[in-house]
Amino acid sequence: MIKKYITVLIILAAGFLNAQSIEVYADTDTTEYVVGDYIHYRLELRYTNDIKVELPSVIDSISMLEFINEEPAVVRKNDNETFELREFVFSKYDSAEVSIPGYSVKYYAGNEADANIINVNPVTILVRTIEVDPSGDIQDVKAPIKIELNWLLFSVIALLLIALILAAYILYQRYKNKRQIVVKEKKIIKVPAYRIALEELDELDSKKLWQQGFVKEYHSELTGIIRKYFESRFNFPALELTSAEILANLGISDADEQVKIATNEFLSNADMVKFAKFKPMPSVNEEMMKQAYDIIDKTKQDDEVKVESVEVQSVQ
């Protein structure tokens, strides 16, 4: 009778133990890899629902491999049991036989405060290098990628281009037909430089600057008019040149010798007034004006009507 009770108790205890079960299993997608390949390391856990599992850091536990990434965890639960799948991607860049060591997983059964431990099995893999034939030619690591020609896309682009060229041609023809070119010669009467200069001299004279005490201003304006006149008449930038440079430019122009001498005297006298506080006699001021008129008179060119530009007009 006692034996019967003991047997029943053993059966009950075994049933109880069987009710709180946990299994762990680690594996890789294959056992042989080439250096640089992705090693998919899978950890499967199957445990009853009254068990709480505390996973260690798998990445830290597998330090001999280079961690690439971790796939999202797959957890399936039914009334009694939970199935958990963890997948980690590693790689290795050296050839070797690698033994991924086993490690411990803590779990708590029911309301137990103390943790139990279950060990994950070690996995051995072989990482080998690419075999190189030293007698062969140097080859690409990977063959060039061949992109398949998308005939449909190619045809659409070709058609669009043809349509665009046709449209441009039609538009150009329309524009060409509409456009009637009328060439007009625009005659511009260019006022000769000497006339402008003479007018300016007249104006300066009428201002009576030196008579009012503005001697320096008078000489500055006077030389300014002559320099501007030289610029138009002899085509050199007299306004940006010094007196000596103006005389040098005048020296190679068609101006006659008398004009060159007169200009030298004219500019030198004006420079004295402009830059040396020299106060000339009234007669000198008058003489300067006369000299200016004289220089213009001796270098002036006749009036002429010049065809300044040819205007092209389009009529719609």
Contacts with another protein by CB under 8 A lie at 220, 237, 239-245, 271-272, 274-278
Task: Report the candidate in 94, 105, 14 with the shortest Cα–Cα distance to residue 57.
Answer: 105
Angle, alpha carbons 306-311-316 (nearest 5°) = 155
Helices marked H in 71-214 — which ranges? 151-178, 193-207
**Tokens standing for residue 94:** 């050296």
CB of 276 to another protein, least distance (A): 4
DSSP state of 110: T
CB of 221 to another protein, least distance (A): 12
When the beta carbons of 17 and 239 are compared against another protein, the nearer one is: 239
Distance (Å, whole) CA 275 – CA 5: 137
CB of 308 to another protein, least distance (A): 24
CB 271 within 8 A of CB 259: no
**Tokens standing for residue 51:** 């068990």
CB of 216 to another protein, least distance (A): 8
When the beta carbons of 227 and 233 are compared against another protein, the nearer one is: 227
When the beta carbons of 278 and 293 are compared against another protein, the nearer one is: 278
When the beta carbons of 92 and 219 are compared against another protein, the nearer one is: 219
Distance (Å, whole) CA 50 – CA 79: 11
CB of 217 to another protein, least distance (A): 11
When the beta carbons of 98 and 197 are compared against another protein, the nearer one is: 197
CB 266 within 8 A of CB 298: no
When the beta carbons of 66 and 221 are compared against another protein, the nearer one is: 221
Angle, alpha carbons 90-96-100 (nearest 5°) = 50
Task: Report the candidate in 104, 127, 107, 109 with the shortest Cα–Cα distance to residue 16.
Answer: 109
CB of 198 to another protein, least distance (A): 23
